[in-house]
Structure 1
Amino acid sequence: MKVADILRVKGGTLFTVSPDQSLADALKTMAERDIGSLVVMDHGDLIGMLTFREVIVSIVANGGSVGSSTVRGVMDDHPLTCTPDTEIDEVRRMMLERHARYMPVLTQRTLMGVISFYDVARAVVETQDFENRMLKAYIRDWPAGEEQTAPQTTL
C-alpha cells in the first residue's frame, strides 16, 4: 500500500497557514476545523508544519500564554515529508523514528495532502482486516477430504 491510496480515501482538503500569521489566528483555525496540524506555506512552497506539539512548547515557554507569537517562530521548519509513491511501511517507520504525527505529501514541490499517524494506522488495520477475511474465506472453502495432517515422525 502507498501513500496515494490513503490520500485517495481521505480526500483533498488541505489547511494551510502563512508563516507571518499570528499563532492565535492559527490556533483558532485549528480549533474551528478540529485539526491537529497546519501546513505552513510561503509563496507556494512548504516551509514548515504547525502542530499542537509546537504550540504547547511555545505556550509553556511563554508562561502559559500565546502572546504575540507568529507561526514562523513556533513551527517545525524541517518537517518530514513523503511522496504519493512512498510505501506505508516506510512512512510508519519514519513517523515512529521522529515521533511525527503528521506528514506532508509532496510531488516535487507541490503539496498533495497531509497524512496523519491515525491515517496510517487505519490503513494498516483495514489491510489486515481484509487479509484476515480472505484467509477465513479460504479456510472455510477448503475442499472436503483434503484435511492436512501433521507429518508423522518416528524415532
Structure 2
Amino acid sequence: MKTVAQLLKLKVSHNQQVHTIAQDQMVLEALKVMAEKNIGALPVVHNGALVGMVSERDYARKMVLKGRSSIGTPVSAIMSATVITVDSQQTVETCMNIMTDNHLRHLPVVEHGELLGLLSIGDLVKEAIAEQADLIQQLEQYIRGV
C-alpha cells in the first residue's frame, strides 16, 4: 500500500499544487479560487501555518442557509477550525479510514507544522482501485503460472 508521500509525489508530477487562502480574505475570494481551480476546499493559512479548512459545504451551511454576504464575511467566520491532518508516512488505507470515520472529503498533509499537500477522497479512491487492479493482475498471472 502506498504512503501519502508517494501519492503527493504523483500529484506534484501532474502539476497539482495546493491552493490556500488567508483567514482574513473574504468568502467571495475563496469561492472564486475554488471555482477557478475546480476544487471543493481550501486550506486556510495564517503566517504559513494551517489554521483551518473552508469548503463548499461550509459555504452552503454557514453562509447560504444563514443569509450572509460573501462579500463582507471573512473566511475565518465560516472555516472549520478543527482540522484533522496526516503526515506523509500514513498509508492510503489509514487515510481512507480517517476520512470515512470523520466524514471528510479533504485531508491536509502536515509535517513539522508545514502544509505539504491536500488529499481528496477521490485521490485515495483512485489509488485504492489502482492497487486492487494490480493485485488482480498479479493473482491472474500466478494462477496461469506466468
Q: TM-score, normalised by structure 1?
A: 0.86
The residue that corresponds to 2:11 in the other structure is: 10
CA RMSD of aligned residues (A): 1.5
The residue that corresponds to 1:131 in the other structure is: 135
Cα distance in structure 1, aligned partners of 2:129 and 2:97: 16
Q: Which runs of 5 or more structure 1 residues have no equivalent in the other structure?
A: 143-155
* Aligned counterparts, 1:103-142, within 5 A: 103-141=107-145
Match of 2:49 among 45, 49, 69: 45
CA contact (8 A) 2:20 2:43 kept: yes
CA contact (8 A) 2:26 2:70 kept: no
Deviation at 1:5, TM superposition (A): 1.6
- Aligned pairs, number: 142
Task: Answer yes or no: is 1:78 the counterpart of 2:82.
Answer: yes
% of aligned pairs identical? Answer: 30
Deviation at 1:64, TM superposition (A): 7.0
Deviation at 1:38, TM superposition (A): 0.7
CA contact (8 A) 2:54 2:78 kept: yes
Cα distance in structure 2, aligned partners of 1:126 and 1:117: 14
Deviation at 1:63, TM superposition (A): 2.3
Deviation at 1:108, TM superposition (A): 1.4
Cα distance in structure 2, aligned partners of 1:99 and 1:79: 12
Cα distance in structure 2, aligned partners of 1:43 and 1:2: 28
Task: Answer yes or no: is 1:95 the counterpart of 2:96.
Answer: no
Task: Answer yes or no: is 1:19 the counterpart of 2:20.
Answer: no
Larger radius of gyration: 1
The residue that corresponds to 1:30 in the other structure is: 34
Q: Which runs of 5 or more structure 2 residues have no equivalent in the other structure?
A: none
Moved over 4 A (4+): none
Cα distance in structure 1, aligned partners of 2:46 and 2:31: 18
Cα distance in structure 2, aligned partners of 1:63 and 1:47: 25
